[in-house]
Amino acid sequence: DIQMTQSPSSLSASVGDRVTITCRASQTIGTYLQWYQQKPGTAPKVLIYAASSLQTGVPSRFSGSASGTDFTLTISSLQVDDFATYYCKQSYSLPITFGQGTRLEIK
Amino acid sequence: QVQLVESGGGVVQPGNSLRLSCAASGFTFSYYAMHWVRQAPGKGLEWVAVASDDGNNKQYADSMKGRFTISRDNSNNIFYLQMNSLRSEDTAVYYCARETSGVTKRFDLWGQGTLVSVSS
Protein backbone atom coordinates (compact mmCIF):
# COMPACT_ATOMS: atom_id res chain seq x y z
CA ASP A 1 0.00 0.00 0.00
CA ILE A 2 1.09 3.58 -0.65
CA GLN A 3 1.58 5.53 2.56
CA MET A 4 0.75 9.23 2.57
CA THR A 5 2.61 11.16 5.27
CA GLN A 6 1.02 14.52 5.89
CA SER A 7 2.43 17.34 7.98
CA PRO A 8 1.87 19.13 10.19
CA SER A 9 -0.95 17.33 12.00
CA SER A 10 -2.19 20.65 13.34
CA LEU A 11 -1.48 24.27 12.65
CA SER A 12 -2.50 27.55 14.25
CA ALA A 13 -2.61 30.58 12.00
CA SER A 14 -4.22 33.98 11.68
CA VAL A 15 -6.49 35.47 9.07
CA GLY A 16 -4.32 36.74 6.24
CA ASP A 17 -1.45 34.29 6.87
CA ARG A 18 0.10 32.18 4.15
CA VAL A 19 -0.12 28.51 5.07
CA THR A 20 1.54 25.44 3.61
CA ILE A 21 0.62 21.80 4.22
CA THR A 22 2.74 18.99 2.84
CA CYS A 23 2.17 15.38 1.92
CA ARG A 24 4.80 12.82 1.02
CA ALA A 25 3.99 9.60 -0.81
CA SER A 26 5.92 6.42 0.00
CA GLN A 27 6.39 5.73 -3.72
CA THR A 28 5.76 7.41 -7.01
CA ILE A 29 2.16 8.43 -7.63
CA GLY A 30 2.67 10.73 -10.59
CA THR A 31 0.19 13.55 -10.11
CA TYR A 32 -2.64 11.35 -8.84
CA LEU A 33 -2.93 13.48 -5.73
CA GLN A 34 -5.88 15.46 -4.46
CA TRP A 35 -6.49 17.78 -1.52
CA TYR A 36 -9.77 17.80 0.39
CA GLN A 37 -11.17 20.18 2.96
CA GLN A 38 -13.50 18.95 5.69
CA LYS A 39 -15.45 21.02 8.18
CA PRO A 40 -16.97 19.47 11.32
CA GLY A 41 -20.08 17.42 10.65
CA THR A 42 -19.83 17.69 6.88
CA ALA A 43 -18.46 15.61 4.03
CA PRO A 44 -15.05 16.38 2.54
CA LYS A 45 -14.87 18.70 -0.43
CA VAL A 46 -12.23 18.50 -3.17
CA LEU A 47 -10.04 21.57 -3.55
CA ILE A 48 -7.18 20.45 -5.78
CA TYR A 49 -6.85 17.49 -8.14
CA ALA A 50 -4.04 16.21 -10.35
CA ALA A 51 -1.70 17.79 -7.78
CA SER A 52 -2.17 21.35 -9.01
CA SER A 53 -5.54 21.79 -10.74
CA LEU A 54 -8.08 23.92 -8.93
CA GLN A 55 -11.55 22.40 -8.62
CA THR A 56 -14.29 24.54 -10.14
CA GLY A 57 -15.68 26.98 -7.62
CA VAL A 58 -12.71 26.83 -5.24
CA PRO A 59 -11.13 30.21 -4.47
CA SER A 60 -7.85 30.97 -6.20
CA ARG A 61 -6.07 31.48 -2.86
CA PHE A 62 -5.78 27.68 -2.81
CA SER A 63 -3.00 26.15 -4.90
CA GLY A 64 -1.17 22.86 -5.14
CA SER A 65 2.26 21.83 -6.32
CA ALA A 66 4.32 18.70 -6.72
CA SER A 67 7.97 17.75 -6.67
CA GLY A 68 8.58 14.03 -7.11
CA THR A 69 6.75 12.34 -4.26
CA ASP A 70 6.31 15.56 -2.28
CA PHE A 71 3.11 17.54 -2.59
CA THR A 72 2.12 20.90 -1.17
CA LEU A 73 -1.15 22.68 -0.54
CA THR A 74 -0.81 26.43 -0.10
CA ILE A 75 -3.42 28.90 1.08
CA SER A 76 -2.11 32.30 0.11
CA SER A 77 -4.14 34.44 2.50
CA LEU A 78 -6.20 32.64 5.11
CA GLN A 79 -9.84 33.53 5.44
CA VAL A 80 -12.15 32.66 8.33
CA ASP A 81 -13.91 30.11 6.12
CA ASP A 82 -10.63 28.18 5.64
CA PHE A 83 -10.35 26.94 9.21
CA ALA A 84 -10.99 23.24 8.76
CA THR A 85 -9.18 19.91 8.42
CA TYR A 86 -7.30 19.14 5.22
CA TYR A 87 -6.48 15.73 3.77
CA CYS A 88 -4.31 14.63 0.89
CA LYS A 89 -5.33 11.49 -1.00
CA GLN A 90 -3.62 9.39 -3.65
CA SER A 91 -5.59 7.68 -6.39
CA TYR A 92 -2.59 6.23 -8.25
CA SER A 93 -3.28 2.70 -7.07
CA LEU A 94 -5.63 0.75 -4.86
CA PRO A 95 -6.09 0.81 -1.99
CA ILE A 96 -6.74 4.53 -2.09
CA THR A 97 -4.98 6.12 0.87
CA PHE A 98 -5.39 9.40 2.68
CA GLY A 99 -2.96 11.44 4.70
CA GLN A 100 -3.61 11.66 8.42
CA GLY A 101 -5.09 15.13 8.13
CA THR A 102 -4.03 18.65 9.11
CA ARG A 103 -6.27 20.55 11.49
CA LEU A 104 -6.01 24.26 10.77
CA GLU A 105 -7.05 26.38 13.74
CA ILE A 106 -7.41 30.06 14.40
CA LYS A 107 -4.54 31.57 16.38
CA GLN B 1 -30.25 18.43 -8.29
CA VAL B 2 -26.94 16.59 -8.43
CA GLN B 3 -26.62 14.70 -5.16
CA LEU B 4 -25.86 11.53 -3.28
CA VAL B 5 -27.98 10.60 -0.29
CA GLU B 6 -26.94 7.82 2.08
CA SER B 7 -29.30 5.91 4.31
CA GLY B 8 -29.42 2.76 6.41
CA GLY B 9 -27.14 3.68 9.28
CA GLY B 10 -28.00 3.03 12.88
CA VAL B 11 -27.06 1.16 16.04
CA VAL B 12 -26.24 -2.52 15.62
CA GLN B 13 -24.83 -5.18 17.93
CA PRO B 14 -21.41 -6.72 17.29
CA GLY B 15 -21.63 -9.64 14.88
CA ASN B 16 -24.77 -8.36 13.21
CA SER B 17 -25.28 -6.99 9.71
CA LEU B 18 -26.36 -3.73 8.14
CA ARG B 19 -26.91 -2.53 4.59
CA LEU B 20 -26.24 1.05 3.59
CA SER B 21 -27.69 2.66 0.49
CA CYS B 22 -26.51 5.61 -1.53
CA ALA B 23 -29.14 7.09 -3.83
CA ALA B 24 -27.82 9.15 -6.74
CA SER B 25 -29.74 11.79 -8.63
CA GLY B 26 -29.17 14.58 -11.12
CA PHE B 27 -26.43 12.87 -13.14
CA THR B 28 -25.84 9.76 -15.23
CA PHE B 29 -24.99 7.33 -12.46
CA SER B 30 -23.75 4.59 -14.78
CA TYR B 31 -20.94 6.81 -16.07
CA TYR B 32 -19.08 6.89 -12.75
CA ALA B 33 -17.12 4.63 -10.46
CA MET B 34 -18.46 4.83 -6.91
CA HIS B 35 -16.65 4.54 -3.59
CA TRP B 36 -17.39 4.13 0.09
CA VAL B 37 -15.21 6.01 2.56
CA ARG B 38 -15.59 5.93 6.32
CA GLN B 39 -14.53 8.10 9.23
CA ALA B 40 -14.41 6.84 12.80
CA PRO B 41 -15.34 9.41 15.46
CA GLY B 42 -12.60 12.01 15.74
CA LYS B 43 -10.40 10.17 13.23
CA GLY B 44 -9.30 10.56 9.64
CA LEU B 45 -10.73 9.30 6.38
CA GLU B 46 -10.44 5.61 5.47
CA TRP B 47 -11.21 4.19 2.06
CA VAL B 48 -13.54 1.18 2.11
CA ALA B 49 -14.30 -0.03 -1.41
CA VAL B 50 -14.92 0.87 -5.04
CA ALA B 51 -17.24 -0.37 -7.76
CA SER B 52 -16.58 0.34 -11.42
CA ASP B 53 -19.16 2.20 -13.48
CA ASP B 54 -20.78 -1.01 -14.70
CA GLY B 55 -20.39 -2.73 -11.35
CA ASN B 56 -18.32 -5.58 -12.76
CA ASN B 57 -15.12 -4.63 -10.97
CA LYS B 58 -15.05 -4.26 -7.21
CA GLN B 59 -12.14 -3.76 -4.87
CA TYR B 60 -12.01 -3.60 -1.08
CA ALA B 61 -9.70 -2.44 1.65
CA ASP B 62 -7.99 -5.44 3.21
CA SER B 63 -9.58 -4.90 6.61
CA MET B 64 -13.06 -5.19 5.09
CA LYS B 65 -12.50 -8.01 2.60
CA GLY B 66 -14.76 -10.94 3.28
CA ARG B 67 -17.08 -8.97 5.58
CA PHE B 68 -18.21 -6.09 3.36
CA THR B 69 -19.79 -6.38 -0.07
CA ILE B 70 -20.62 -3.56 -2.46
CA SER B 71 -23.08 -3.60 -5.31
CA ARG B 72 -24.85 -1.13 -7.51
CA ASP B 73 -28.16 -0.93 -9.34
CA ASN B 74 -27.63 1.24 -12.37
CA SER B 75 -31.30 1.01 -13.32
CA ASN B 76 -32.37 2.65 -10.08
CA ASN B 77 -29.20 4.68 -9.41
CA ILE B 78 -28.40 3.12 -6.06
CA PHE B 79 -25.07 2.05 -4.61
CA TYR B 80 -24.97 -0.38 -1.69
CA LEU B 81 -22.66 -1.44 1.10
CA GLN B 82 -23.55 -4.71 2.82
CA MET B 83 -21.68 -5.02 6.10
CA ASN B 84 -21.59 -8.37 7.92
CA SER B 85 -19.92 -9.53 11.13
CA LEU B 86 -19.74 -5.97 12.36
CA ARG B 87 -17.17 -5.04 15.00
CA SER B 88 -16.90 -2.09 17.34
CA GLU B 89 -14.08 -0.73 15.18
CA ASP B 90 -16.51 -0.41 12.27
CA THR B 91 -18.25 2.40 14.12
CA ALA B 92 -17.97 5.38 11.79
CA VAL B 93 -19.71 7.79 9.49
CA TYR B 94 -19.91 6.14 6.09
CA TYR B 95 -19.81 8.31 2.98
CA CYS B 96 -20.41 7.37 -0.62
CA ALA B 97 -18.51 9.34 -3.22
CA ARG B 98 -18.49 9.71 -6.99
CA GLU B 99 -15.16 9.49 -8.77
CA THR B 100 -14.31 11.23 -12.02
CA SER B 101 -12.15 9.20 -14.38
CA GLY B 102 -8.77 9.53 -16.02
CA VAL B 103 -5.72 11.45 -14.89
CA THR B 104 -7.98 14.03 -13.23
CA LYS B 105 -9.43 11.47 -10.84
CA ARG B 106 -11.08 12.93 -7.80
CA PHE B 107 -14.06 12.42 -5.53
CA ASP B 108 -16.07 15.36 -6.77
CA LEU B 109 -19.41 14.54 -5.17
CA TRP B 110 -20.02 13.14 -1.70
CA GLY B 111 -23.09 12.17 0.24
CA GLN B 112 -23.86 13.66 3.62
CA GLY B 113 -22.79 10.50 5.42
CA THR B 114 -24.65 7.99 7.55
CA LEU B 115 -23.55 6.97 11.05
CA VAL B 116 -23.07 3.32 11.93
CA SER B 117 -22.62 2.56 15.61
CA VAL B 118 -21.63 -0.98 16.59
CA SER B 119 -22.30 -1.49 20.26
CA SER B 120 -23.80 -4.04 22.61
The answer to whether B46 faces chain A, any CB pair under 8 Å, is yes
- Name which of A43, A50, A100 is nearest B95 (Cβ-Cβ): A43
- Name which of A53, A89, A99 is nearest B104 (Cβ-Cβ): A53
Shortest distance, CA A17 to any CA of chain B (angstroms) = 25
**Residues in chain A, total:** 107
Each residue's pLDDT expressed in tens, for chain B with a length of 120 residues: 999 999 999 999 999 999 999 999 999 999 999 999 999 999 999 999 999 999 999 999 999 999 999 999 999 999 999 999 999 999 999 999 999 988 889 999 999 999 999 999
Provide mean pLDDT across the span A48-55. 97
Interface test with B, best of A7, A91, A92, A98 (most B CBs within 10 A): A91
pLDDT at B101: 86
For residue range A54-102, list pLDDT tens digits in order. Answer: 999 999 999 999 999 999 999 999 999 999 999 999 999 999 999 999 9
Q: Report the distance separating Cα B42 and Cα A40, nearest Å.
A: 10
The answer to whether B45 faces chain A, any CB pair under 8 Å, is yes
- Name which of B61, B103, B108 is nearest A46 (Cβ-Cβ): B108
Q: For residue A22, give the amino acid letter.
A: T
Q: Which of B101, B90, B98 lies closest to B15, judged by CA?
A: B90
Q: Which of A98, A74, A76 lies closest to A87, judged by CA?
A: A98
Provide mean pLDDT across the span A35-63. 98
